[in-house]
Amino acid sequence: MDNLFQHYEQKLAESGIAETGATLMGVLDADLEWNRMDPLCKKLTPLFDCLTINSLLLIVPAEPYRSIIRFLAETSHGPIQPQDCETRTFLHDIPVCRDLNPAAISSCLQIRKGVVTPDYGIVTHGSVSIEQAFVSCSSICFASFVKFFSDYLSLAASGGLTGPHRRLFEKVWGLIDPMPEMDSTLLEGPFQTEFEVRTAMMEAGSATVKKRLVDSYFGNISYCCDEVLYISQTGSSLDDLEHCIDPCPLDESSCASMTASSELPAHFEVIKQTGARAILHGHPKFAVILSMDCRIADCPIKGECYRKCDRDRSVCGVPIVPGEVGSGPYGLCNTIPKALTGKSGVIVYGHGVFTSGDTDFNDPFRRLLEIENGCRREYLKRVEE
């Protein structure tokens, strides 16, 4: 069990979510075990009786998440309601409890992935494994970051910024990660064998996570070789792809796609329509934030713009398109391929960035970095106007 605890403490630290020693983990196997003794264990233990869970995670978030989440929790007057794709499809909203009262926490966790408290941090749970609790915690941090900076940009444009907003922005802006840069060249293609493809995908996936261009497991990656699209599995982590890559023939003659990424239809269509071999999808924060920056107050499709917007929008020369995961009438497979034709990157409203390349992952990875850094500079420019 100690190895399990150490593994997730390390993942939380490497992702910038929580500093070492700021995490309390409980796992129920034959007995309930905690990663360390803490007075809060007594408060949290009753949750294992109230809920159908086998793991629980309480973290004091690292900065800037700590200050952002505390601010949102104190000013939300109810659940925190981010508008990004991850929240819509996974979190729905983020409940707020004022303390660690087991009954109140249990009530929230019965219907949501996690709950935040101003003084204690984030509580999440897993019904099968602690990996679920880690993913929920990561998603809450991502969604809270996006919400705060999105709200700040909207308030700056409307003249509605308050003193507390300004003070917190000044504080957290200096605490966010430095702009990510490409440290070294990735494996060069085109790749000829399945082994080469898998090795290159694992390397690029790990690099994407290392540069914090994706949170939890919400990115995906693919490469086409000999009419087979190799793609990361649904629910897989980009930095742990060794056994999580599915070979999906372009003629769909295999059932491997049953466990493939839910965005397989979009990857298929990009390959077929653009001729690209490599596709990389991440969730860089400022690209997501700027994709939702719309100043049309009386838009007739307000609330559904993430899937129905038909306006010609872009940021830093990168097209912004709507779309939902899957292959329905508003599926990303209908919007991304056209936008990527003749371009190497596209931003999906509230969702993230898709980049493509002809031979390997060097261009897609470099473009992902360029788009995010460009969006961060553009964000600062807009709030200072």
Whose tokens are 């294992």? That residue is 48
Phi-psi label, residue 334: left if phi above 0, alpha if psi -120 to 50, beta otherwise:
alpha
CA 235 from chain centre, in angstroms, equals 12
Equal fold, 2-173 vs 194-384 = yes
| 297 against 103, higher pLDDT | 103
- Does domain 194-384 fall under CATH 3.40.225.10? My reply is yes
What class has domain 2-173?
alpha beta
Query: What is the radius of gyration, based on Cα positions, of the chain?
Result: 21
Average pLDDT over residues 297-307: 82
> Range with the lowest mean pLDDT among 232-236, 282-286, 353-357?
232-236
Domain residue limits, the chain = 2-173, 194-384
Task: Please check whether residue 128 is in contact with residue 54, taking contact to mean a CB–CB distance below 8 angstroms.
Answer: yes
- Predicted local confidence at residue 385, as pLDDT: 78
Which tens digit of pLDDT belongs to each residue from 53-93? 999 999 999 999 999 999 999 998 899 999 888 888 888 99
3-state secondary structure of 160: coil
CA distance 252 to 270: 15
Which tens digit of pLDDT belongs to each residue from 321-374? 998 887 788 899 999 999 999 888 999 999 999 999 999 999 999 999 999 999
- The model's pTM is 0.94
CA distance 172 to 164: 12
Encode 212-221: b = buried (16+ Cβ within 10 Å), e = exposed.
bbbbbbbbbb
pLDDT at residue 297 tops 80: no
- Predicted local confidence at residue 255, as pLDDT: 64
